Amino acid sequence: LLQVHAFPSSKMIYAALLCLIPFLLLISYRRRKPNTVGFFHPYCNAGGGGERVLWCAIRSMQARFPKLKYIVFSGDRDASKEQILLRAKQRFNIEIDPSNVDFVFLRLRSLVETRLPFTLLLQTLAGGVLSVEALCYLCPSLMIDSMGYPLSLPIFKWLGGSDVAAYVHYPTISCDMIDVVARRESSFNNKGIIARWPLLSQIKLAYYKAFAKAYGLAGRAADVVMVNGSWTASHIRQLWQQECSVVFPPCDIEGLLAIPGRAEEVLKNDKRVNILSIGQIRPEKNHKLQLEILKEVLEGLRNRNIDVKVDVTLTIAGGCRNEDDESRVKELKELAEKLGLQKNLEWKLNVPYGELIELLNSSLISLHTMHNEHFGISVVEALAAGTIMVAHKSGGPAMDIVVPCEGEASVGYLASTREEFVSSILSIISLSPSSRSQIRESARLSSQRFSEGVFEEKWNEAIGGLIESTA
Ligand SMILES: *[C@@H]1O[C@H](CO)[C@@H](O)[C@H](O)[C@H]1NC(C)=O
Ligand SMILES: *[C@@H]1O[C@H](CO)[C@@H](O)[C@H](O)[C@H]1NC(C)=O
């Protein structure tokens, strides 16, 4: 009954009609449209990382399977096909051939924006209603859910008779979320009151577990599952009990691979080592730790009895978006002064891209201190640009990025404690130039796992098996 008041009445009528439609569909069992690939992506005009994947995927498939027809199920009724494709070009520099792409516009997208209690469940159900709407307009021979609406998988598969595939960025429910409730901890998705009351906790736990079961059942409908990284892969394998291929989201690294790098010159001629830290000035990035590391690196170099003195500069570059960020910068500057680091520290906030490239060009080492970063696109970029990475040993950097490809040498350093960060940096400085250049080469090579080219190959490889059956 809660829902009834929340939606305007015209939407309710649609919803009621849509409840009938599955039965009608079952009776008529519409024939699926041959040689058609549908992408279920209701927010295709949004311009985030998920949309980058969508357009890259369509472009990749157009190149390999030019005869197929591509349909995007979108809820962006305020934009035309031309506008959406233009935005993809401007935002991501991805050119889509318009001749075999079309859009089907959905009316019920606002349903998935619900903010009612049991959001998880209601949003998932609303995604199901939206899928049924999509299916009424058109039933493709292959449907790909690229946005994470799990019910779209069984709906297209069992009601429409399509083959279905999923690209998962993030599991709707994760095993971690269930653990948090089970341990009765309080966190963002587990409000304090629920953590305190055992009975509420148990109800919530039962709800999550039931949801996870249902999520698993929906996921099992998929014929092909792709995930965006190892973390997601481990959760999806557990929840869906399905094999899945890791297809990393594409990063634009072509330009970075071409940076020649002059850090060795700077070290040889000016006796200076530049360390670069790129990232927004947010607390989780842990810039404070970077300052402490700098201080100990300087001490370490001083205590070392070598005749050539080397000076170290840490440059903190990154977005500083609001007052909170600015006040954090102020605090960090005060801390730097207290530690006596002003001479060795530079700030490059909100600098244009060209300047960032120049910083990468002249830096020997890149520093990344965030704990449990999901992915860390800046870490990939630092590798591609030929700096030697020292990254936190957790999350995406540890699982996916700063790991050697088969048979490759080291591509960078991982550290968990301040001491490990400091000793990694000191050992990079004392390596021979040829050892450093070996690391740089391996790093650049391994960063190509995240290129658009590799994405295209992996995507088509994963989806290729289903294409034969689309005819
Ligand atoms: C996968 O997608 C999620 C959600 O957008 C993101 O947080 C995560 O960093 C991505 N992982 C990889 C490996 O790109
Ligand atoms: C990088 O440094 C080299 C050597 O000094 C210079 O020739 C080149 O223009 C620089 N490249 C970029 C992209 O800044």
Strand pairing of 224-227 and 101-105? unpaired
The answer to whether residues 388 and 439 touch, using CB atoms and an 8 Å cutoff, is yes
Residue 2: the pLDDT is 46
What are the pLDDT digits (tens) for 104-152? 999 999 998 877 778 889 999 999 999 999 999 999 999 999 999 999 9
Q: How far apart are CA 101 and CA 155, in angstroms?
A: 23
pLDDT tops 80 at residue 20: no
For ligand 2, is residue 257 a contact (CB within 6 Å)? no
For ligand 2, is residue 358 a contact (CB within 6 Å)? yes
Residues 6+ apart with CB under 8 A from 77: 105, 106, 107
pLDDT tops 70 at residue 306: no
CA of 168 to the centre of ligand 1 (A): 9
Residues 6+ apart with CB under 8 A from 116: 2, 3, 6, 122
pLDDT tops 70 at residue 188: no
Q: How far apart are CA 225 and CA 150, in angstroms?
A: 12
pLDDT tops 50 at residue 4: no
Q: Whose CA is nearest to atom 9 of ligand 2?
A: 260
Beginning with the edge strand found earlier in the chain, give each strand of the sheet holding 224-227 in spatial order: 101-105, 69-74, 33-40, 140-145, 163-168, 224-227, 245-246
Query: What average pLDDT does the segment 233-262 reach?
Result: 94
Which of residues 133 and 196 earns the better pLDDT score? 133
Residues 6+ apart with CB under 8 A from 17: none
For ligand 2, is residue 260 a contact (CB within 6 Å)? yes
For ligand 1, is residue 376 a contact (CB within 6 Å)? no
pLDDT tops 50 at residue 177: yes
**What DSSP element (H or E) covers 143?**
strand 140-145
Mutate to test the pocket of ligand 2, among 351, 355, 361 (most ligand atoms within 8 A of CB): 361
- The atom of ligand 2 lying closest to the CA of 358 is 14
Mutate to test the pocket of ligand 1, among 174, 374, 378, 394 (most ligand atoms within 8 A of CB): 374
- C-alpha 169 chain-centroid distance: 7
Radius of gyration of the chain (CA): 25
For ligand 1, is residue 109 a contact (CB within 6 Å)? no
Q: How far apart are CA 177 and CA 169, in angstroms?
A: 16
Which of residues 308 and 453 earns the better pLDDT score? 453
Mutate to test the pocket of ligand 2, among 262, 270, 360 (most ligand atoms within 8 A of CB): 262
Q: How far apart are CA 145 and CA 38, in angstroms?
A: 8
Angle between helices 230-240 and 198-219 (to 10 degrees): 90
pLDDT tops 80 at residue 469: no
pLDDT tops 90 at residue 439: yes
Residue 179: the pLDDT is 83
> What is the CB neighbour count within 10 angstroms for residue 115?
8
Residue 190: the pLDDT is 65
- Ligand with minimal distance to 373 CA: 1
Report the SS3 class of residue 33.
Answer: strand
Given pLDDT bands bounded at 50, 70 and 90, which one contains residue 1?
very low
Positive/negative CA dihedral, 351, 356, 359, 365: positive
Count of residues making up the chain: 471
For ligand 2, is residue 408 a contact (CB within 6 Å)? no
Q: Whose CA is nearest to atom 12 of ligand 2?
A: 358
